Amino acid sequence: MAKKKTFIEDIERTLYDIKNEDRPVYKTKQGLTDEIIRDISAKKHDPDWMLAFRLHSLDVYNHTPLPVWGPDLSELDMDRIVTYVKPDAKMAGRWEDVPADIKDTFDRLGIPEAEKTSLAGVGAQYDSEVVYHSIQESLTRQGVIYTDMETALVEHEDLVREYFMKLVPPKDHKFAALHGAVWSGGSFVYVPAGVQVKIPLQSYFRLNSPGAGQFEHTLIIVEKGASLHFIEGCSAPKYNVTNLHAGCVELYVKEGARLRYSTIENWSRNMMNLNTKRALVEKDGLIEWVSGSFGSHVSMLYPCSILHGENARCEFTGVTFAGHGQHLDTGATVVHAAPHTSANINTRTISKDGGIAVYRSAVKVAPGADHAKCSVNCESLMLDDRSRSDTLPVMDIQGDEADIGHEARIGRISDEAVYYLTTRGISEDEARAMIVRGFVEPIAKALPLEYAVEMNNLINIELEGAMG
């Protein structure tokens, strides 16, 4: 394809799509059976309780129907998904010790570079296992733990056992149960009371193996009065078989603590992304979400904040962009479970070339959660009349004196707006890109600069429709 000049930078769109040879040291058989689960558990040296947990989850999975709403999931055939792929790499603490092709992949994604300049710790997962981990010593000295889940299970078994899948239990929905059965990899972060982690930590998840699933588990505990900014990134090259991502993120924000959790999920067009994220926020705590959904064939993702203690707060900022052949069903959920809790949801969804982008917001105010305050602002933009964008708000208000505001707008780029900008000498594509950038500007403003740039790049890639 000829390179097109864009009003901002030219985009390196091949970046995310480079495939490495699939050469795992071990791979389970396709499908989901008791035997496969036992096999994964043995390979991972699980403690007995974890094996029992996996088997229980499998049982729940087998007895839970698919969701009856949202995108069509009939394409997903679990008998053809490989749930565990152990890469040919041991977890390293130095990039030199990571196999060259895998290191190259993360190099291209800019991870080691970001580690040097703007991160206090990095985890890099490749297929089912974490291949690199680091954390600044000053943080370890303050008692901060940042490691992969497997190590956490050995070194901090009690903590893991206390929190693991307590917020998102396997019976939550079918893919939570699946996650409980086959989870592998992910991040464990523990910030002790009063510790302020000033520089962000980042985990990056790369799925390279065709027809595989990635089921990383993220467990973050920010103790009383502590604070953390945690960033997750994910991507995969495109294959012509279905890949599955069913991660699970559990965030515990204790009294007066603050956690900013940012993810830009950038999957390929063969990916089913069925991800579950939830935060439990105690008194005076704050959870800030930044959530970008790009690239996958299907997504179902609705980060949930349970405002459990008085004055707990939630800020949610989200962008979803669906192009040709994509059905991205995303949103945010807030449960006001205590008095004087407040939430702010601000989202933008974009659809193009027949893509479907749906934004669901659900706000629940529990009985007794009086004086809850919630403001929802969802805007959708369709770039042509084949595409669909929708915002579906649900409200369930049972507490007294709730102050709930909801604003939803759905619009289409008008020809007039495009013509107007082209009279200044730019192409119609550039004009559309400029309008879309204006549309997501309130979101870009909320992102740290390098992520705003990444989001802009992803938007440009989607606008050019070249990831296809």
Partner 1 sequence: MLELKRVCFGVRNEKGSKEILKDVDLTLEDRQFIVITGPNGGGKSTLAKLIMGIERPVSGQILFNGEDITDWDITRRAQAGISFAFQQPVRFKGITVKDLIRLASGDKALSTNGACRYLSAVGLCAADYVNREVDASLSGGELKRIEIATIIARQTTKLAVFDEPEAGIDLWSFHKLTHVFEKMHEEQRTILIISHQERILNIADEIVLIADGRIQKRGTRDAILPELLEVTGSCNFFKEDEA
**Residues in touch with partner 1 (CB under 8 A):** 7, 414, 416-417, 419-428, 434-435, 437-442
**Vertex 150 angle, CA 147 and 154, to 5°:** 95
Residue 273 or 389: the one with the smaller Cβ distance to partner 1 is: 389
- What stretches of 282-387 adopt beta strand conformation (E)? 286-294, 298-301, 304-307, 313-322, 327-336, 342-351, 356-365, 373-382
CB of 297 to partner 1, least distance (A): 29
CB of 320 to partner 1, least distance (A): 17
CB of 435 to partner 1, least distance (A): 7
CB of 393 to partner 1, least distance (A): 20
What crossing angle do the helices spanning 111-118 and 100-108 adopt, rounded to 10°? 60
Residue 35 or 428: the one with the smaller Cβ distance to partner 1 is: 428
Residue 201 or 443: the one with the smaller Cβ distance to partner 1 is: 443
H helix count then E strand count, the chain: 11, 24
Q: Exposed (0-12), middle (13-18) or buried (19+): which is 416, by Cβ within 10 Å?
A: exposed
CB of 430 to partner 1, least distance (A): 9
Q: How many residues does the chain have?
A: 468
| Beta bridge pairs of residue 30 | 82
Residue with tokens 């588990």: 217
CB of 347 to partner 1, least distance (A): 14
Q: Exposed (0-12), middle (13-18) or buried (19+): which is 53, by Cβ within 10 Å?
A: buried
Residue 442 or 448: the one with the smaller Cβ distance to partner 1 is: 442
What's the CA gap between 302 and 321, in Å, rounded? 15
Q: Look at residues 286, 288, 289 and name the one whose alpha carbon lies nearest to residue 275.
A: 289
**Vertex 200 angle, CA 322 and 305, to 5°:** 55
CB of 13 to partner 1, least distance (A): 21
CB of 434 to partner 1, least distance (A): 7
Residue 342 or 346: the one with the smaller Cβ distance to partner 1 is: 346
Q: β-pairing, 85-86 with 26-27?
A: antiparallel
Residue 53 or 439: the one with the smaller Cβ distance to partner 1 is: 439
Residue 30 or 427: the one with the smaller Cβ distance to partner 1 is: 427
CB of 8 to partner 1, least distance (A): 8
Residue 404 or 410: the one with the smaller Cβ distance to partner 1 is: 410
**Vertex 210 angle, CA 164 and 147, to 5°:** 30
Q: Tokens at residue 15, please?
A: 């970046």
Residue 72 or 416: the one with the smaller Cβ distance to partner 1 is: 416
CB-based contacts of 137, cutoff 8 Å, min separation 6:
none
Q: How many CA atoms lie within 13 A of 123 on its CB side?
A: 29
Could you report how far apart the first and last alpha carbons of the chain are, in Å? Answer: 12
CB of 78 to partner 1, least distance (A): 42
Residue 334 or 440: the one with the smaller Cβ distance to partner 1 is: 440
